[in-house]
Structures are given as structure tokens and as C-alpha cells.
Amino acid sequence: MNMKRLKLLLSVIIVAGFMFLASCDNSNDPDPLPLKTGVLIVNEGNFGAGNGSISFYDEELQTITNNVVKTANGGSEIGSLVQSMFLYDEVGYILCNDADKIEFISEADYKYLDNPTTNISQPRYMTAVGNKGYISCWGAWGENYTLPDSYVAVIDLTSREVVDTLECGSGPEGIIVLNNKLYVANSYETTVSVINLADNSSEKVNFDAAPKHFAPGADGNLWVSISAGWSYPADKSGVQSINLTTGEKGNFVPIQNTAGSIVSDVSGEKIYILAAELYPKTGTKIYVYNTITKNLLTDALISGDNFYGLGYNVTTDKIYVSDSKAFAGPGDIHVYDTDGTKSDDQITGVGPNGFAFK
Amino acid sequence: MNLKIPVLALLFLCLSVPGRTQMKTMELEEVVIEGLPFEKFSSGSKIVKSDSLTMAQLGQETLAQYVLRNTTGYIKEQGHKMLASVSFRGTGSSHTGVFWHGVNINSLTLGSTNFSGVPLFLFDDIAVHYGGASSLHGSDAIGGSIHLNSTPTWEDGAHAQFRYDYGSFGNHFSGVKVNFGNGKWEAKTRAFNHMLKNNFKYSVTDRLGNNSEIEQEHAEVHNYGVLQEVNGKISKRGFLSLKGWFGKNRYEIQPMMVTYPGQPQDGDEIFDRNLRLVAEYQHFYRRGALSSSLGYVRDYQLFDESDVIETKRGIASLSYEWNMDEKTILKAGGASKYIVPNVWAYQEDLTEWRSDVFISVKRMILENWSASLNARKTFVPFTVAPVAPSLSTGYRIKKGRSVLAFRAQLERSYRVPTFNDRYWGEQGRPDLKSEHGFSVELGHNFVHQGESDRFEFDISGYYMKQDDWIAWKPTDNLWRPFNLKKVEAAGVEVQGKYGQKIRAVQFEVGGLYALNRSVLLEGVSENDAAVGYQLPYTPKHRAVLYASLMYKKFRLSINNQYTGTRYGIDVIHEKIEGFFLTDLRFGKDFSLGEHHFSLEGQVLNVFDVAYQNVKRYAMPGRNYLMSINFYLSN
């Protein structure tokens, strides 16, 4: 073997290698951002990775654009887990529960409107009325993974500052305002806090397992998803109503392994409920409950794997289901008609957990 | 002939003399070494050993830095000197076995080793065995395995080394090495203490476009370690070695980069304490050698001063190597482990026995052509680990001053699921299958030793298919582990170096390059979008280029490492830019009669590159380190 040739070969390989590296790192220019109406998807991201993001789905063209916030802002990412997003009055509120902040973007073009509000601890979900936003916050962790300091933060939507806090139970999730009353689902206990916004007086409605989220029904009741998790007896999972006038509980409708996500259609006649099969089966299901006929369809409307979030587009009557793919890679969304026919699938960011319709 | 192999093995063990090699003229060593106990049965695979000169100069360097600077492996480092997980040949962090004198030190609960927590000051040699080798090393050796060893010096007399490093970001390292012996017995002690405040700066642009400089907080690291070793030639044919390694590491876990100035930088704290003990006895017979060892490992981790994760294991192993005839070596043996975990989420009084049996046969088929057949079987309660066979073959031609070698290997490797996978709360599944797969590899090595120069070149190509990789996924109310993923990896690794000595000047230049394609074939569920994409945090390209120069007692070296683009968990959309880092090192030795000392300076990240290894975890820009070493001997 010729020494010189070998040396030459080595040099060629090293130089070629570096040239190859240099040449394959050119990134493509991102596509222009779609700015029209459509569906925003919250990708929660992985714990400790800060890779939460927002995607946009164009229902008409059936196309998805991922990372719209990052792209609209010159690469400046949200940089956190994203728990949820709330659209109100042309502003997108992005609630980041590990970076303890709320980011403000323009609903139209996804550009940041301000620096984030940071005087907040583990924000989860938001609602708004008038010029006030209400945010369920877990507060700091206590011992043994308890949440002793949960609260509702009140933000002024003009100054974007936390101006007040309201008391609630432990681990508040879903939050909704109806008839000037704020309903907060306290998921680390078995109660819903009902706060009268006129005087901030509050009372608690008690359930048999953990309340998670709300869906207003056409029957004039507020429906609550109740999840047994593994802390409560399995037969306590389901949905239950709260009478908006009397504040009393109505009938309990048992549904095995409800996960928490619940949405209603435009009138509130039908509510859609996310549930899981019993282990060792690993599937997930969407059930439909009719609040007028008081009938739960025994067969699931939709079945699949790793369903994680649920949405309903009241303008187009499409059902949106997100598929977390176990947070092991990019997730999916599936779009269905109300009869359960799938009309589209799209690939999202990591752990899509919910939708906002603009 | 019969005694030659063990005697050569012993001779080899005596070759490198840490702390003193530095004073010798630079020795250019072979890429592929002889002498590790498993090496003769793996002539078909690539084994690369550290050179003693590099090792002797190491102070506070960790195994993480070693892998990035000296191998084609990748280290995913979650912040500066924080949790570092390895990836060889596109596999995951629990697919590289880390062995200390034959004991796999990967955590039984997590399945991997934190490479930032392995201080190289304590060891004399590191061997990297690329590719799968479960037939020789057992569980975890899928992408590669790393072997940390000390070597007896058998010197008559005493030597001591004291080292102190002072560097940027509150970096203080002090270490001591003491060897003494009478040629028959020897004691070696190494100890160090390393503090790093880690308060480097990085810049952040807020939502209104204003730039701010942020000082990293909550990233302090404190490492402490001691290694004690006693070696004895207790008879003409018996060799005894007792070793103990104790380490303590405390990490404030570096938080993600802030996204706005004033964002609180807090997080969790991890405190690790590891005790590892090994007693080895080898007895050489006329036609063979008996090796036995007893080990004990206690891994203790405290998370946020509340949750304890602890495992204790006792290990016993016995093997016999028999030179059947002039061409055939047979080795057979077994090992047993008794494991006692203490983890808050496991059921109480959980214990486990695991046993291994193995056999290896090597035969010289022709004068230049050897082949070995190895097989190993691990027995684990509630689950079946596959039999791992391998067929390994090598061909060597020596021509004048050149040696040409070709190698080929076919093997099956596996990883037993972790204790967390099998026993965590109600979710753990003791019957989970082992991850397993097969690989094939081909390689070529060329060495030319001239009068005053030396050239080495090595190239490997491999293909690997893995099945039943474990992933956790949500079920009814709990996340549970399943055997879900299939992975395919293929790649090429090239390395070479050239060194020459011209009067008082010695120089060496070298490089390594790896191209790896490692893709998901089946994911966590049907229609997994990640299928067909490169696995997260496995770069397709890794390269290292280095050069060193010695003139009399002055030395200068430069190391450039390149890590290519990686993708985050979102393997489609989350691109993480590659990074190119340059480190410079210079030093001079001074003599003081019998004793001597050296001064050294290092400039790390010379070009002040702002980069992230793990996305959103800040890494420091240009920084400095100064060291002083005293060597005393009598």
C-alpha cells in the first residue's frame, strides 16, 4: 500500500466531510404565514424542553403551518411548555405553565404585542369578560406534589398586569364566566368554585371525583367533566351538570375513564367527551352526550390512539381531535364531521393539547 | 507459547505510567490496542484506546468531554457540565454500557450513566468499543461500550502528583495522585475536589427587541471523588487487585434559558453518591488463566432533598480461559448479581437476582486470520433476555513497517429494561421484553511506522436493526412502558492521524469523522409522523480535527470538534443548529532535580461561539483555565 496515496485519501475524506457538513446546513426560507381565519393548535411540548408551539390549520385549504409564533417573530420562540391559548378581542393569550408567564400575540399576524406578564405562577386556562381576564393558576408546588397555593389571577387586558387574585380550590383547570359568575374546576380536589364577580363572594359545589373542564349545554346547565383518575373510584368518571340559577348539581352520567377534555357544539345540544379505554387496552375514544334528549351514545363516535385534546369549530361544525403520540415525536390532529367521518389529518408540533378558533 | 498470552497481558498492564509518561518523549500509540480481556475475542470490531499522554494531562475533564473530543460519539449535554447522555452510532443513552473493571455502572433505575459525573482524573485508560458487543459485555452494549480502567505500574518507590486548576466561572479543581509500591505490591490513590459556580453569561432578546445580558444562575456543580487501589502479585502466578471508587456529585439543575430579563432562574437539585468496589483475583496456569471478581455498587440519588432513588448490587463472576492448542483459545464463565433497590415508587422488599453465562472461542484459522464465536445469555426474572451471539473475524498482514488489517463482525445485542420500566408504581411492567437487535460491521485499519513518523488510518461501516425499544405512553389513567419502537441505523466512521519527530520537534495531526443515519421504522402508534426521520438528538455528522506540537518541554495542542444539525423531539420541525468548537491548550514542563512541575493554560471555545447542545440550554462562550502540576518521586 502506498503511503502517499493513503495520506491523500485521508485528507480528501476529511476535507470532503467538512464541505459536506457545510453544504447541508442551509436552511430553507419559511413559507409565508397564513393570516386568515382558521384553527390555532396548542402544542404543549415536552417537560423541561421548552418546545411548546402554536400551529395554524387552514380548514378551507386543509393545510397546516407549524411554529407560527416563532416564524412571525424572527425566530423568537415561546420557550416554554404551553398549557393553553385563549383568543379574546383580537389578542392571543398564550399561557406558559413552566416559564410562569403569559405571552401576548396579535391574533391576526401572531406578532408579540408586549413583553410577557410574569407575575404569575403555573397559569393553566383563561377566560375573559369586559376588560378583565381570569386565569386559573396552580401556584407553587407544595410537599408531595400537592398544590396548596392555587388561585385565580385577574389581569387587566389593557395594562396586561395582574391586578387582583381570587381564591379557588386546589389545582384549578377549566374556567368559564356565565351570567357574571366565574366557575373554576378544582382538579386536585372534588369541587367547582363558583365566584360571584359582583362581590367576589364564592362557594364550592362538591362532586365525587375531580372536575376538569366545562361545556355549556343547550339545556341551560353547565356540564362538567369529572375524572376519577387513579385517586377516586373508577365508576365516578363521567359528566355532571350544574344548574346555572340554583348552583345545584344535576344528573351524573357515568363514562369510563374520562380524561378531562369536553366541548359543546354551537347550541350546546351535544357535548363531546374524551375518554380512554381500560388498561390493558390503550385506545382513546370520543363520546357524545345529548343534553336535550339526555342520551349518551353508547358507542364512541370516534376511536383512536393517544387522543389528548378536543375542539369544536362552531362556525364550520367540525370536530378537532389532537393525538399526542405519547409526546415521543410530532403529534397529529384529526378533523371530523359531526357524524364522525374523518375529513383530514395533519402533523403538528409536540403534544398538541387543544385548539383556539379565530 | 502457552504462557505468552497471560504474560503479555500482564506486560501490557505495565506499559503506561500515568503522571510520568508526560516527561518521556511523546509516544505515538496504536489506534487499536491489545490486551483488554475481551479484545482477543473481538478482532472484528473497532476498539480505540486513550493514549497515555492525553490521559496524564487530564484534570477536571469528564467522560462527556472525552467522548466529544476524542470519539465519533455524541454527548447530549443539558446545560454546561450538566446531565450528559451519550449516543454511539445513533442509539440512545442507555444503549452504551459503561464499565469499570468489568462492572457495568449504568444506573439500574434509569439505564444510563451521566457522563458529566465520570471524572477522568481517576483513571489510567479509557477504551471505546464501538458497536454492539452484548455477547462479551452483556446488557446495554448496543451502540458501544466504554471501559474505564486503572493499570498497575509495579514500580519500586513512590510518586505523587498534585494538581490545581483555576478557571472562569468560579472553577476550582484540586487533585492528588499518589502511587507507592515495592515491585510486588502497590497502592494507588487518586482524589479530587471540583467546584464550578457556572455563572457564565448569555444574551437574550426580549419581545420588544431589546437585548440583555443574562448571568446564568442555579447551575452550580460540586464533584468530589476518590479512587483507592491495591495491587499485589501474591504468588508467581496469582494477581490480586482491590479497588474502590467513591464519588459525590451535587448539581443545581441548570434551568432553560430565560425568555425575558428578570425571569426567575430556579429549579431542582440532584445529589448523587456512588460507591463501587471491585476485588479481582487472577491465577495463571500453564495453559490458561482463571479470573474471578467480587463487586459491590451502591448508587444513591436524592432529588430536591426529598425523593430517594437507591440501588445496591452485589456481583460475583468467574471465568476460565484455556489455551486449548496453539491456535485455539476457549473462555467460559458466568456472573451473578443480586440487586436491592430502595426507590420510593417501588414496592417494598423488592429484590432481584440476575445471572449471565457466556462462552467465547477464538481460533487462528490461518497465520494471519483469526475468528471468534461468542455467546452470552442473561437470566432475568419475569422476562426473557435473548441469547446474544457474535461472530467476529480479523485478518492482518504485516509488510515491512506497515500493518494492514481487515475486520468483520455479525452480532446480536440487547438491553434489559430498567428497574423503572419494570417496577415503577402500578405502571411498571416486570415482563417487558429486552430491547434487542442485530448488527453487521466491516472495518479496515492501516498503520505505518516509519523511522521517525507514524501514520494510522481506520474506517468502519455498520448496519444495525433494533426492535422492541421501550417507550412510555398514556393509557387509561397512567403512563405505562411498552415495547414499541423499531430503529434502523447505518453509518461510516473514519479516523486517521499522522505524527512525526524532527529533532526536538514532535507533531501530530489527526481527525475523526462519522456519518450516521439512524431512523425510526416503527413509532409509538400507527401513523407515527416521526417514522422515517432521524432520531432526536442524534447528529448525522460528527467530526474532530486536532493537532499537537511539542518542542523540548513546551507543548501546544488544538482540538476542533464539530457536531452537526440535530433535531429535537419534534424530529420534523425542530432543527437545532450544529456547532463547531475550538479548544487550545499549551503548557511547559520544568525540572527541579528529581522532581518536576508543569504549567498549563487552556482557552476553551476560542472563537466565542454562542451555541446550544440541548436546545434552550445556554452554554458558555470563550473561557479560560490555568493549571499547575507538581510531580514528586523518590
Name chain B contacts of A282, Cβ cutoff 8 Å. Answer: 473, 475, 482
**Nearest of A121, A179, A181, A178 to residue A153 by alpha carbon:** A121
Contact list, B520 vs chain A (CB under 8 Å): 329
What pLDDT does A17 receive? 52
CB contact under 8 A, A306 and B480: no
Express each pLDDT in A59-71 by its tens digit: 999 999 999 999 9
Residues whose CB falls within 8 Å of the CB of residue B95, separated by 6 or more in sequence, listed in order: B87, B88, B140, B142, B143, B144, B415, B435
A328–B578: do the CB atoms touch at under 8 Å?
no
> pLDDT confidence of B6, banded at 50, 70, 90?
very low
What integer is the mean pLDDT of B253-272? Answer: 93
Name the pLDDT band for B612 (thresholds 50, 70, 90): very high
To test the contact with chain B by mutation, choose from A7, A21, A324 the residue with the greatest count of B C-beta atoms within 10 A, namely A21
A150 Cβ under 8 Å from any chain B Cβ: no
A32 has pLDDT over 80 = no
Quote the distance between the C-alpha of residue B596 and its chain's center.
31
Residue among A14, A51, A79 whose CB faces B568 most closely: A51
Average pLDDT of B120-130? Answer: 96
Q: Is residue B129's pLDDT more than 60?
A: yes
Which pLDDT value is given to residue A18? 52
The pLDDT, as a whole number, for residue B53 is 81
B321 pLDDT exceeds 50? yes
Q: List own/partner pairs for B452-456 with CB under 8 A and 24 or more apart.
A: B452/B500, B452/B501, B452/B502, B453/B498, B453/B499, B453/B500, B453/B501, B454/B28, B454/B498, B454/B499, B454/B500, B455/A3, B455/A6, B455/A7, B455/B496, B455/B497, B455/B498, B455/B499, B456/B30, B456/B31, B456/B495, B456/B496, B456/B497, B456/B498
> In this predicted model, what pLDDT tens digit does every residue of A75-106 receive, in sequence order?
999 999 999 999 999 999 999 998 999 999 99
Q: Which chain B residue's Cα is nearest to A229?
A: B477
Q: Which residues of A touch B457 (CB under 8 A)?
A: 6, 9-10
Of B345, B423, B412, B346, which Cα lies nearest the Cα of B380?
Answer: B423
Instruction: Compute φ and ψ for B626, nearest 5 degrees.
Output: -120, 140
Q: Is the pLDDT of residue B19 over 50?
A: no
CB A349 within 8 A of CB B570: yes
Higher confidence at residue B592 or residue B549? B549
CB contact under 8 A, B569 and A76: no
Task: Tell if the CB–CB gap between A10 and B448 is shorter than 8 Å.
Answer: no
Per-residue pLDDT reduced to its tens digit, B330-339: 999 999 999 9
Say which of B478, B526, B568 has its CB closest to residue A305.
Answer: B526
- Tell me which residue in B263, B457, B615 faces A118 most closely, judged by beta carbons: B263
How much of chain A, in percent, has pLDDT values that exceed 90?
A: 86
pLDDT reported for residue A4: 62
Q: Is the pLDDT of residue A25 over 50?
A: no
Contact A25 B471 (CB under 8 A): no
Query: Is A265 inside a domain boundary?
Result: no
C-alpha–C-alpha distance, residues B413 and B387, integer Å: 8
The nearest CA of chain A is from the CA of B426 a distance in Å of: 10
Long-range interactions of B198-203: CB distance < 8 A, separation 24+: B198/B80, B198/B81, B198/B169, B198/B170, B198/B254, B199/B169, B199/B170, B200/B80, B200/B168, B200/B169, B200/B618, B200/B620, B200/B621, B200/B623, B201/B621, B202/B257, B202/B610, B202/B618, B202/B619, B202/B620, B202/B621, B203/B610
Residue A102 CA: distances (Å) to CA of A84, A115, A252, B16: 10, 9, 35, 59
Which residue reads 477504551 in cell numbers?
A: B127
Q: Which residue, B197, B202, B206, B208, is CA-closest to B257?
A: B202
Look at residue A71 and tell me if it is in a domain: yes
pLDDT for B280 beyond 80 = yes
Is the pLDDT at B8 greater than 60? The verdict is no
Position A16 scores a pLDDT of: 54
User: Could you tell me which chain B residue has the CA closest to the CA of A101?
Assistant: B263
pLDDT at B76 over 60: yes
Burial (CB < 10 A; 0-12, 13-18, 19+), residue A48, is middle
How far, in Å, CA of A91 to CA of A110, rounded?
9
Q: For residue A279, which residues of chain B lie inside 8 Å, CB to CB?
A: 475-476, 478, 480
pLDDT digits (tens, 9 = 90+) for B437-487: 999 999 999 999 999 999 999 999 999 999 999 999 999 889 999 999 999
Search chain A and give the residue with CA nearest B546: A14
Whether residue A87 lies within 8 A of chain B, CB to CB, comes out as: no
User: Mean of the pLDDT values across residues B291-315?
Assistant: 95
Q: In 3D, which of B6, B59, B14 has the Cα closest to residue B186? A: B14
Q: For B287-339, give the DSSP string.
A: TEEEEEEEEEEEEEEEETTTEEEEEEEEEEEEEEEEEEETTEEEEEEEEEEEE
> Mean pLDDT of all residues in chain B?
92
Query: What is the pLDDT at residue B54?
Result: 83
* B contact test, residue of A15, A115, A187, A226 with most B CBs within 10 A: A115
- Mean pLDDT, to the nearest integer, of B232-254? 96
Q: Are A172 and A138 a contacting pair, CB within 8 Å?
A: yes
Residue of B508, B495, B406, B511 lying closest to B454 (CA atoms): B508
Kindly state whether residue A345 falls inside one of the protein's structural domains: yes
Q: How far apart are CA A287 and CA B256, in angstroms?
A: 39
Q: For B21-39, how does the pLDDT look when each residue is reduced to its tens digit (9 = 90+)?
A: 333 333 333 333 336 889 9
Distances in Å between the Cα of B377 and the Cα atoms of A333, B356, B382 are 44, 6, 15
What is the pLDDT averaged over residues B595-609? 97
Q: Is B513 close to A331, i.e. CB distance below 8 A?
A: no
Write down the pLDDT at residue A27: 44
User: Within a domain: residue A222?
Assistant: no
Whether B478 and A325 lie within 8 Å, measured CB to CB? no
pLDDT of B530-562, one tens digit each? 999 999 999 999 999 999 999 999 999 999 999
Q: How many domains does chain A have?
A: 1
* A260-299 residues touching B, CB cutoff 8 A: 276-282
Model confidence pLDDT, tens digit, residues B212-225: 999 999 999 999 99
Residue B97: phi and psi, rounded to 5, are: -80, 140
Q: Is residue A305 less than 8 Å (CB to CB) from chain B?
A: yes
Q: In what order do the strands lie in the sheet with A318-323?
A: A307-313, A318-323, A330-337, A342-350
Q: Which residue has the cell 464501538?
A: B130
What confidence score (pLDDT) does residue A11 get? 58
Residue A77 included in any domain: yes
* Residue A237 in domain: no
Q: What is the pLDDT of residue B477?
A: 82
For testing contact with chain A, the best of B208, B268, B403, B476 (most A CBs within 10 A): B476
Residues of chain A in contact with residue B472, where contact means CB-CB under 8 angstroms, are 326
What mean pLDDT comes out for the span B153-165? 93
- Please check the confidence at residue A1 and state whether its pLDDT lies above 50: no
Contact state of A350 with B569 under an 8 Å Cβ cutoff: yes
Predicted confidence (pLDDT) at residue B347 exceeds the cutoff of 80: yes
Of A30 and B193, more confident: B193
Q: How confident is the model at residue B610 (pLDDT cuts 50, 70, 90)?
A: very high
Would an 8 Å CB–CB cutoff place A145 in contact with chain B?
no
Domains located in chain B, CATH noted? 4-633 (2.40.170.20)
Q: Looking at the domain assignment, is residue A125 inside a domain?
A: no
CB–CB of A20 and B208 under 8 A?
A: no
Q: Domain range spanning residue A75? A: 29-84+101-115+319-358
| pLDDT tens string A158-201 | 999 999 999 999 999 999 999 999 999 999 999 999 999 999 99
- Output the pTM of the full model: 0.91
Q: What is the ipTM of this complex?
A: 0.89
Q: Does the structure show a pLDDT above 80 at B228?
A: yes
